[in-house]
Structure 1
Amino acid sequence: MPRTPDTHADDLDTIPPAQPVFHVEQALLGALLLEPQRLSDVTGIVSEAFSTAVHAALFAAIRSLPAPDPLQHTKNTKWLDEVLAAAHKQVRGLSASYLHTLIQVCPWPRHAPAYARMIEAEHSRRRLCAAAQRLTQTARDTSLPQRVATTLAEADALATVADDIAARFPPHSGSLPHTPAPSPATPHDEEAADEERLLLATATAHPSNVEQMRWLTPDDFTHPLHAELWQCLITLTRRGTPVDPVTVLWEAQHRGLLSAGAEPRELLDLLARPVGSPESWGERILQRSVLQIAHHIGRRIEAFTQDPATTPYQLVVGSRRALADLCAVRTRWQHATSPAPQNRPARTRATAAPRAGPPRTTAPPPPTARISR
């Protein structure tokens, strides 16, 4: 007779094992159920800090009820029944046997503050991970009307979470995370390449604008050849050298771009089709760079949080280092999008009225005659 597979056993095999914080939460709840007076020693965590709804409901119920008399608590289960009833209002399926299990698995109730600190640390990891994911998603959301402003606001929110964690877990000097950073995504965006080509052609036709666009750097370009050509334009304008497609081609040759595979005729054609203004194309390129950097920073911090070996101290230091990379490009974006200052007329210094001198007592001397040769 063929054996009927035990689907229930197969399902149990697919359930991932509980994380260490789950056992820590059990130990803390067991300590509080066994000795409720230790709740006063537990600070810094709220019910949202727990990883499961059952544990969160139990902790909220324990906090909502006054602690029983320690002597009476050892004689009956009245207070435990009240905790169970209060927790039942938030979650279903909770039984009295689970409360007894929590009490049994707690090694030492007096270690409750240490357990609470561990739970707080893991909650900080989840908070930082969620903030990093929001930054990553926002940076890629093309439906937003103000993409850069919204993305930078999410970066500020992420920094606020990191600051809050730092206040609870002050970082040690030099405690950087050891998690390898994810490789930056380099999407091949044909629209971005077209905008870069149009910028190069337009800037070649209007080289005087290049000097005013210091907020745009070669690192903002998605195509390496375009980044090198932009550096050629910067070099020529700062030298005061005449700028046109031919002079840019000559500078490109000295930089080895032709030996790298770029054809002279191809570069001349690229630089000979200006459209619009360099500033408008430059802002588009810089916007894409801001969003790309923000997206990479979000992925980088998320990788830190998903490494269980990363401590809260390392999360703070690593997050702050990553967010610092966004400061420079944020400043350049503000320079690019801020209105140009209006030229104010030069202030003329008013001629002061001559001061009155002392009264004369003698006649003034006669004017000196000019000696002619």
Structure 2
Amino acid sequence: MPHSPEPDEDVLDAVAPPHPVFHVEQALLGAFLLEPQRLNEVTGVGPDAFSTAAHAALFAAISSLPAPDPAEHAAHPQWLDAVLAVAREQARGLTATYLHSLIQVCPWPPHAPAYARMIEAEHCRRRLAAAAQHLIQSARDTSLPQPVASTLDEADVLGCGVDDITARFPPHAGSLPRTPTPPQATTHDQDAVDEERLLLATATAHPNSVGQMRWLTPGDFTHPVHAGLWLCLTTLIRRDTPVDPVTVLWEAQHRGLLGAGAEPREVLNLLAGPVGSPEHWGERILHRSVLAAAHHLGRRIETFTNDPANTPYQLVVGSRRALADLTAVRTRWQHATTEPAPTTRPARTTRTEGTAAPRAGPPPTTTPPVARTPR
């Protein structure tokens, strides 16, 4: 049953206590109210760095008013009255009593730069968390006209935020977050499964096209059996061995796929009925993989920011590593969707090791002339 407070019980006791940064903000504002000249010693924070609207309004008011003479400020509180009047334009709930309480809770005004550094660190955490949430939402928004482009734009915004935090808090060597990363989200999308099946069938029927699809990896597949079959296909093609449903089935047996829930007849049926081109279905699969990688990136960084034990240095290192994983998938997407630039073929080329063999063309329609032997 829900708890019913007693008549003499203070309902405010049920309110969650403020975060530590709230008390740090009180100490910094108290230092400025007590010794306004301390504002010149502080850099890196603005009104948006504070966690509450009241504190932001107070900092903005303090910053906008010229600091009074220290001796005059100690004797007369006119400057405090001016700060309160300006701040109440943005936060009407502020009172003179709260300003005096801020002065009382400040332990040591000369520590204002240290307090400001703490507030700056917490603001960076909130900025990073907000950018990660925007990325997660974009990666799951099916209404976007260009989901991949929009999601990668959000990833760029997040990357710029990480760069800014790096400039403010250069990371130390080995400062990795100790927070466990969340597992990769598993999707049960029937469209994704159908597209993977169509790719495998079409690639088996047209293996020559698969050699140009190095931008697709088994990790892009949502179904583990499909990922294994794609590895079988690419392995056979790399060995330059015949590719058809039977040879793929034989390779799947050697890789232990048939014991993982796939029966031989099911594999043969899966590889039958090609439709379209392998490149088309491969791009569809990679499209989903990019969005899944972006979603996982956002969740990883969100998890880091939710752990108050992580310092800004650890957030930078963990975020950079997470961004690097998305960059790898993004590079493959660019290779898959970018048309190769036309190149001028030299008059004579020499095949070297690692050069792709020319594609087989149609048979000649005329018989080449036979060289005559001189009598």
TM-score normalised to structure 1 length: 0.90
Q: 1:7–1:120: structure 2 CA closer, same or farther, 3 Å change rule?
A: farther
| Residue 255 of structure 1, CA deviation | 1.3
Match in the other structure for 1:61:
61
How many Å separate the matches in 2 of 1:220 and 1:80? 61
- One-letter identity of the residue aligned with 2:151: T
- One-letter identity of the residue aligned with 2:299: R
Counterparts of 1:1-373 in structure 2 under 5 Å?
5-6=5-6, 9=9, 11-342=11-342, 344-347=344-347
How many Å separate the matches in 2 of 1:5 and 1:216? 60
- One-letter identity of the residue aligned with 1:46: G
- One-letter identity of the residue aligned with 2:109: P
- One-letter identity of the residue aligned with 1:69: D
Match in the other structure for 1:371:
none
| Residue 13 of structure 1, CA deviation | 2.9
Gaps spanning 5+ residues in structure 1: where?
350-373
How many Å separate the matches in 1 of 2:180 and 2:5? 43
| Residue 116 of structure 1, CA deviation | 0.5
How many Å separate the matches in 2 of 1:261 and 1:80? 75
How many Å separate the matches in 2 of 1:5 and 1:272? 68
Match in the other structure for 1:362:
none
Q: 1:148–1:249: structure 2 CA closer, same or farther, 3 Å change rule?
A: same
- Secondary structure of the residue that 2:261 maps to in structure 1? coil
CA contact (8 A) 2:151 2:291 kept: yes
CA contact (8 A) 2:225 2:260 kept: no
How many Å separate the matches in 2 of 1:18 and 1:288? 40
The number of residue pairs the alignment matches comes to 346
How many Å separate the matches in 2 of 1:149 and 1:205? 32
Structure with higher Rg: it is 1
How many Å separate the matches in 2 of 1:60 and 1:8? 39
- Secondary structure of the residue that 1:308 maps to in structure 2? coil
1:73-111 per-position Cα deviation (integer Å, ceiling 9, x unaligned): 111110000000000111111100000000000000111
How many Å separate the matches in 2 of 1:274 and 1:335? 24
| Residue 7 of structure 1, CA deviation | 6.7
Q: 1:157–1:5: structure 2 CA closer, same or farther, 3 Å change rule?
A: closer
1:299-321 per-position Cα deviation (integer Å, ceiling 9, x unaligned): 00111111110001101111001
- One-letter identity of the residue aligned with 1:59: F
- Secondary structure of the residue that 2:75 maps to in structure 1? coil
- One-letter identity of the residue aligned with 2:195: E
TM-score normalised to structure 2 length: 0.90
| Residue 344 of structure 1, CA deviation | 3.4
- Secondary structure of the residue that 2:327 maps to in structure 1? helix
| Residue 348 of structure 1, CA deviation | 7.3
- Secondary structure of the residue that 2:185 maps to in structure 1? coil
| Residue 345 of structure 1, CA deviation | 4.2
Q: 1:7–1:172: structure 2 CA closer, same or farther, 3 Å change rule?
A: farther
Q: 1:295–1:43: structure 2 CA closer, same or farther, 3 Å change rule?
A: same
| Residue 8 of structure 1, CA deviation | 8.6
- One-letter identity of the residue aligned with 1:172: H
| Residue 157 of structure 1, CA deviation | 1.0
1:203-261 per-position Cα deviation (integer Å, ceiling 9, x unaligned): 01100011110000001000000000001100111111111111111111111222223
- One-letter identity of the residue aligned with 1:272: A
Gaps spanning 5+ residues in structure 2: where?
350-375
- Secondary structure of the residue that 1:344 maps to in structure 2? coil
Q: 1:157–1:8: structure 2 CA closer, same or farther, 3 Å change rule?
A: farther
Q: 1:248–1:38: structure 2 CA closer, same or farther, 3 Å change rule?
A: same
How many Å separate the matches in 2 of 1:316 and 1:217? 28
Q: 1:345–1:201: structure 2 CA closer, same or farther, 3 Å change rule?
A: same
- Secondary structure of the residue that 1:259 maps to in structure 2? helix
| Residue 323 of structure 1, CA deviation | 0.5
1:148-173 per-position Cα deviation (integer Å, ceiling 9, x unaligned): 11111111111111111111111101
